[in-house]
Amino acid sequence: MQEIFGDDVDTVIADRRYGWINGLVREIVQRPAANRQTVSDKIDKIVTHRLFGIPIFLMAMWVVFKMTADVSAPYLDWVDGVINGPITHWIAALLGLLDLTGTWVESLFVDGVLAGVGGVLVFVPVLMFLYLALAILEDSGYMARAAFVMDRLMHTLGLHGKSFLPMLVGFGCTVPAFYATRTLENEKDRILTGLLVPFMSCGARLPVYVLFAAVFFPQNSGAVVFWLYLLGIGTAILLGIALKNTLFKGKEQSTFVMELPPYRLPTLRSIWFHMWERTSGFVKKAWTIIMATSIILWFLMAIPVRGEGSFADTDIDHSVFAAANQIIAPVFQPLGFGNWQASSALLTGFVAKEVVVSAMSQVYAVEQAGQAEAPPTFFEDIGGIITSFVSATGDTIKSLPLIVGVNLFEDEVEEAPTELMSAIKEGFETSSGGHGALAALAFMVFVLIYTPCMSAVAAERQELGMKWTWVSIVGQLLLAWLMAFAVFQGGKLLGLG
């Protein structure tokens, strides 16, 4: 066959098959004389315009970013409030009926299990808003244009035009960013994008930078934070090029055969379907990992190894958790922060980056204001849930105009307790042998690069599979260590700090 036709068999069969179909279609299908300028064409003239195309694309991406990062925030706070308020009271009350108040069972449910439930549910509003934005972009047909406009740039990084969106969403939260990689059809593109997404510094890492920059670089804290973001982007770019030319070299060259479909108005039904299907998918798949991690961590913190505390009633620095961190800490010695407090903060950072700062105040034993309110009644709780939902909706509507304005830093800066700041300063100066500022910089770089939180890992496992998730986790830890090492030791060599 090959000799007769001068081509391999598959090719000949395909040629003949499509040739036949083509002939058949030509014979029987009558087409209206087409050469009309449709509405779609008119929109495309503007949207893929040589000058306006990229600004329009950037604006669209900004709206998506704001929707996932800011507009969803009031609902996120509401979910958080409901879990930490009413649901905690109810569980406590229920356990009280069983005569378990003050026992380790109560602590396990409240601090372990509920923390896990909260860890899953707080992402629900974020994901709903991401999927709302994605559904609109995809169903309207704009996503194909966005890929068309950006492909040249992303292709030089070994990526695809559609990779831009997950990257951008990653600045808000890494979890929806992993799910946004699903818009990429080619497996290689999807995996490479997924591997680079965590380097887009997520919103929860910001408070850590802000706190440390305020302690060690009060004069130019804004610049430090800005450069950290750039460092993350730069790392992703270099890593993208490196991976493209090494690990992914032999892989099948991804093609960019893409239809630019006519624009359509998305239907509410399909948008809702996307939002619900995909969000509930996360909840179903992620809750096991998140719950297990929360409970394991609770046990580690509950078991005393020294001191006079008993099970579930011990100071954190007497727990297995602290002991384990004392063993881990020397690993960070060459980076300038080899004390157990710093490594505890990093380890709890795996649960959620939001808790790094609060873990620091916990392990540095800073006095926290106690909550001494009378628990509200059941009906007050129900009322509270409803009114706070209404006010969250109000806040969301109010935050819509914010989409246009840049408001990244203003409200994130919460006043850090001064005792915590001086405790951190002292701790880092001691552990680094007098190079506190360098050690702090190394710590921030480590926080930027190292493994995202357990929820992100759960999302990553779902999207990239177990193998690539492990590659990603190990790679990030190594890279974080090396980069922090370079910052601390390099800085010392250059005589900085």
Partner 1 sequence: MQEDIFPLSELKVGQSGVIVKMNFKGAARQRFMAMGLIKGETINVERIAPLGDPIDFVIKDYHLSLRKSEASEILVRQA
Q: Report the residue from 30, 39, 50, 495 that binds partner 1 according to the rule CB under 8 A.
A: 50
Interaction residues for partner 1, span 223-252 (CB under 8 A) = none
Dihedral of alpha carbons 421, 422, 424, 429, sign: positive
Is 15 a residue that touches partner 1 (CB under 8 A)? Answer: yes
Burial category of 315 from C-beta neighbours within 10 Å (exposed 0-12, middle 13-18, buried 19 and up): middle
Stretch that binds partner 1, among 63-71, 203-211, 257-265, 316-324 (CB under 8 A): 257-265
CA atoms within 13 A on the CB side of 421: 15
Is 42 a residue that touches partner 1 (CB under 8 A)? Answer: no
Stretch that binds partner 1, among 102-110, 151-159, 171-179, 200-208 (CB under 8 A): 151-159
Q: Report the residue from 18, 273, 378, 409 that binds partner 1 according to the rule CB under 8 A.
A: 18
End-to-end Cα spacing for the chain:
74
C-alpha 342/C-alpha 358 separation (Å) is: 12
Would you say 131 and 68 are in contact if contact means Cβ atoms under 8 Å apart?
no
Is 189 a residue that touches partner 1 (CB under 8 A)? Answer: no
Report the residue number, 74 or 161, with the smaller CB distance to partner 1.
Answer: 161
Would you say 131 and 279 are in contact if contact means Cβ atoms under 8 Å apart?
yes
C-alpha 278/C-alpha 376 separation (Å) is: 35
Q: How far is the CB of 135 from partner 1 (least distance, A)?
A: 22
Is 326 a residue that touches partner 1 (CB under 8 A)? Answer: no
What single-letter DSSP state applies at residue 72? Answer: T
Is 34 a residue that touches partner 1 (CB under 8 A)? Answer: yes
Contacts for 183-189: CB closer than 8 Å, 24+ residues apart:
183/134, 183/138, 183/143, 184/160, 186/160, 186/254, 186/255, 188/248, 188/251, 188/252, 188/254, 189/159, 189/160, 189/162, 189/163, 189/254
Q: Report the residue from 5, 19, 222, 305 that binds partner 1 according to the rule CB under 8 A.
A: 19
CB atoms within 10 A of CB 308: 9
Would you say 324 and 300 are in contact if contact means Cβ atoms under 8 Å apart?
yes
Stretch that binds partner 1, among 47-55, 194-202, 236-244, 267-275 (CB under 8 A): 47-55
DSSP string, 105-123: HHHIIIIIIHHHHHHHHTH
What single-letter DSSP state applies at residue 47? Answer: H
Report the residue number, 151 or 463, with the smaller CB distance to partner 1.
Answer: 151
Q: Report the residue from 31, 379, 411, 493 that binds partner 1 according to the rule CB under 8 A.
A: 31
Report the residue number, 261 or 417, with the smaller CB distance to partner 1.
Answer: 261
Residue that is written with structure tokens 């969803």 in the block: 72
Stretch that binds partner 1, among 87-95, 142-150, 195-203, 301-309 (CB under 8 A): 142-150
Q: Report the residue from 93, 94, 241, 260 that binds partner 1 according to the rule CB under 8 A.
A: 260
Report the residue number, 40 or 88, with the smaller CB distance to partner 1.
Answer: 40
C-alpha 245/C-alpha 377 separation (Å) is: 62
Q: How far is the CB of 152 from partner 1 (least distance, A)?
A: 4
Q: How far is the CB of 183 from partner 1 (least distance, A)?
A: 16
Phi, psi of 340 (to 5 degrees): -70, -25
Stretch that binds partner 1, among 93-101, 209-217, 240-248, 255-263 (CB under 8 A): 255-263
Q: How far is the CB of 151 from partner 1 (least distance, A)?
A: 5
Q: Which two tokens stand for residue 108?
A: 């396990």
Is 51 a residue that touches partner 1 (CB under 8 A)? Answer: yes
Report the residue number, 78 or 148, with the smaller CB distance to partner 1.
Answer: 148
Report the residue number, 49 or 398, with the smaller CB distance to partner 1.
Answer: 49
- Polymer length of the chain: 497
Stretch that binds partner 1, among 8-16, 58-66, 289-297, 410-418 (CB under 8 A): 8-16
Is 463 a residue that touches partner 1 (CB under 8 A)? Answer: no
CA angle 40, 45, 46 (to 5 degrees): 105
Q: Report the residue from 79, 133, 136, 149 that binds partner 1 according to the rule CB under 8 A.
A: 149
- Where do contacts with partner 1 occur on this chain (CB under 8 A)? 8, 10-11, 14-15, 18-19, 22, 31, 34, 44, 48-51, 53-54, 144, 148-153, 155, 161, 255-261
